[in-house]
């Protein structure tokens, strides 16, 4: 280590310390080490890329003044980022803008030092009474892989989850982004992955957090001036599970802080698992730089379970509750409750409750009666196929024509109407709608919805089509 580098940096630090709060100084500047000075180019070593980004965003002006004061106008700064040996990648050194007038090289170099500086981190999940920092994973031990029934609808997500649990951070599934509509098993699977990581490597720090809780904690940390502690706490996690990330929509501050945490973890080879009710491209009001990171690893959808999977889930639950139901009854429930597993479990519970309260045997008749409400509701569910059929009948088109690539105005409009109603009446994602209506992408669907809205306002004939179709859809 160069003596002059150290003394020059010391002089810089003195100037910086005089100009910022002591807390910021200790957090952001004390961990920095000066490593080299050559031709007025000072190299400083920062503990992580996050540090570099944070310094760049918040302190570049003051660092620049300090450097010019001590080294003169030609002063230049090079950051060197510490990485753990194990996560050394062959990432080439790259150049970034440090400020508008300066360019600097960032070298990612191998350093033996630990990635984290020791500091008093305030841990929102700390277990009281323990000296050593120990984090309660917040995992629900009821949600395991063993009782997560595999089916076509969840096979990819489940097996990606299993692989991740064997090598967290070591697969290309980072982040793992699991999405589906409600009640299809995202939360269950997310817990199962966390539990499995812990089972295989108990020393790993795993944390499950709902996005709602994450947002709340961040707000509290900001209020009490503990933002850095909050960030540092999350940056210490080895496997971070964030459930229902779509909740971050519209929350700018939380998105920013999550962005930094995400970058740090990802860059340090830590595993991130996210769940959402929409695919990354369909999430609204989330910064593009976050969305693009969500897509870095594997995004996978859990679909509605097929009949066989529904039946297996019912059997498992029955066994767990120590109940016996006839095949006929199981078949009836599995055939009729289709959309969502939470509902499937709910139906079984209400049947059991009915039978116990009224001391009745569970007959098909009792089941039909108990479920009649749910079933008429789900029969009303409007599907994309149904919408396409209705539109084809209405405009006297064949399904092939509707889905074809033709740009004839009438057909384009019919297709756009199909997309519009699919968006309005189903829970399918934009990409899934596009895919089902002639293999279009999500942007086409979004455009279709906007066009229909516009034409509805400006074109009387078109408006009457929309109203007609709407009536037909809800009355059937």
Are 431 and 441 spatial neighbours (Cβ–Cβ below 8 Å)?
Answer: yes
Minimal distance, residue 453 CB to ligand ADP, in Å: 30
Interacting stretch for ligand ADP, rule CB under 6 A, among 131-139, 176-184, 260-268, 435-443? 176-184
Q: Pull the structure tokens for residue 166.
A: 């064997």
Residue 256 vs 345, nearer CB to ligand ADP:
345
Interacting stretch for ligand ADP, rule CB under 6 A, among 37-45, 147-155, 256-264, 406-414? 147-155
Kindly tell me which residue out of 187, 235, 268, 429 binds ligand ADP, with binding defined by CB under 6 A: 187
In the list ligand ADP, Mg ion, none, the entry touching 251 (Cβ below 5 to 8 angstroms by class) is none
How far is it, in rounded angstroms, from Cα 465 to Cα 474? 14
The whole-angstrom distance between residue 56's C-alpha and the CA centroid of its chain comes to: 26
Kindly tell me which residue out of 180, 210, 228, 254 binds ligand ADP, with binding defined by CB under 6 A: 180
Question: Which regions of 297-444 does DSSP assign to beta strands (E)?
Answer: 298-301
Measured CA to CA in angstroms, residue 373 lies from 305, 347, 362 at distances of 21, 11, 18
Residue 187 vs 444, nearer CB to Mg ion:
187
154 scored as a contact of ligand ADP (CB under 6 A): yes
Q: Pull the structure tokens for residue 215.
A: 């947002």
Kindly tell me which residue out of 45, 80, 187, 388 binds Mg ion, with binding defined by CB under 5 A: 187
Interacting stretch for ligand ADP, rule CB under 6 A, among 72-80, 183-191, 256-264, 322-330? 183-191
DSSP 265-312: HHHTT-EEEEEESS-GGG--S--HHHHHHHTSSEEEE-----HHHHHH
> Which residues lie below 8 Å from residue 148, measured CB to CB, with a gap of 6+?
154, 158, 185, 188, 189, 192
Is the CA virtual torsion 265, 248, 225, 53 positive or negative? positive
How many residues does this entry show for the chain? 476
In the list Mg ion, ligand ADP, none, the entry touching 77 (Cβ below 5 to 8 angstroms by class) is none
Residue 229 vs 243, nearer CB to ligand ADP:
243
Q: Pull the structure tokens for residue 325.
A: 């139901």
Kindly tell me which residue out of 31, 170, 183, 346 binds ligand ADP, with binding defined by CB under 6 A: 183
Residue 53 vs 345, nearer CB to ligand ADP:
345
Which one, of 254, 293, 292, lies nearest residue 272 by Cα?
A: 293
Residue 186 vs 198, nearer CB to Mg ion:
186
Contact set for ligand ADP, span 315-354 (CB under 6 A): 341-342, 345
Minimal distance, residue 46 CB to ligand ADP, in Å: 38
Which one, of 214, 216, 191, 198, lies nearest residue 261 by Cα?
A: 214
Residue 143 vs 421, nearer CB to ligand ADP:
143
Kindly tell me which residue out of 185, 280, 297, 434 binds ligand ADP, with binding defined by CB under 6 A: 185
Residues in the site for Mg ion, rule: CB under 5 A?
A: 186-187
Residues in the site for ligand ADP, rule: CB under 6 A?
A: 147-149, 154, 180, 182-188, 313, 341-342, 345
């Amino acid at each position: 280590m160069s003596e002059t580098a150290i003394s020059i940096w010391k002089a810089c630090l003195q100037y910086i310390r005089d100009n910022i709060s002591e807390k910021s100084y200790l957090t952001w500047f004390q961990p920095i080490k000066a490593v080299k000075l050559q031709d007025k180019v000072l190299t400083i070593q920062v503990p992580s890329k996050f540090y570099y980004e944070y310094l760049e965003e918040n302190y570049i002006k003051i660092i620049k003044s300090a450097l010019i004061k001590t080294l003169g106008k030609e002063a230049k700064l090079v950051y060197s980022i510490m990485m753990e040996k194990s996560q050394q990648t062959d990432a080439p050194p790259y150049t970034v803008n440090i400020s508008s007038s300066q360019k600097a090289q960032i070298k990612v170099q191998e350093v033996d030092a630990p990635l984290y500086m020791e500091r008093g981190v305030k841990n929102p999940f700390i277990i009281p009474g323990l000296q050593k920092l120990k984090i309660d994973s917040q995992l629900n031990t009821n949600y395991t892989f063993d009782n997560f029934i595999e089916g076509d609808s969840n096979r990819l997500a489940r097996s990606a989850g299993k692989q991740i649990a064997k090598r967290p951070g070591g697969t290309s599934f980072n982040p793992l982004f699991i999405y589906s509509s409600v009640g299809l098993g995202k939360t269950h699977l997310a817990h199962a992955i966390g539990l499995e990581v812990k089972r295989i490597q108990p020393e790993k720090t795993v944390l499950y957090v709902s996005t709602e809780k994450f947002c709340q904690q961040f707000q509290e940390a900001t209020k009490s001036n503990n933002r850095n502690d909050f960030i540092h706490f999350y940056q210490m996690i080895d496997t971070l599970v964030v459930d229902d990330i779509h909740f971050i929509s519209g929350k700018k501050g939380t998105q920013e802080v999550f962005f930094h945490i995400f970058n740090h973890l990802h860059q340090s080879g830590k595993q991130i698992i996210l769940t959402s009710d929409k695919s990354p491209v369909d999430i609204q009001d989330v910064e593009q730089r976050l969305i693009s990171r969500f897509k870095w690893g594997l995004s996978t959808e859990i679909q509605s379970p097929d009949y066989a999977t529904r039946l297996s889930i019912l059997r498992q639950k029955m066994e767990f509750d120590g109940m016996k139901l006839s095949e006929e009854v199981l078949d009836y429930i599995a055939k009729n409750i289709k959309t969502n597993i939470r509902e499937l479990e709910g139906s079984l519970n209400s049947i059991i409750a009915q039978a116990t309260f009224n001391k009745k045997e569970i007959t098909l008749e009792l089941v039909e009666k108990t479920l009649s409400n749910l079933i008429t509701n789900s029969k009303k569910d409007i599907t994309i196929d149904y919408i396409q059929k209705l539109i084809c009948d209405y405009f006297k088109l064949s399904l092939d024509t509707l889905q074809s690539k033709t740009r004839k105005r009438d057909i384009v409009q019919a297709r756009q109407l199909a997309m519009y109603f699919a968006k309005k009446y189903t829970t399918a994602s934009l990409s899934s709608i596009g895919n089902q209506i002639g293999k279009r992408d999500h942007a086409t669907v979004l455009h279709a919805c906007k066009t229909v809205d516009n034409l509805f306002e400006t074109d009387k004939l078109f408006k009457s089509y929309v109203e007609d179709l709407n009536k037909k859809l809800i009355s059937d």
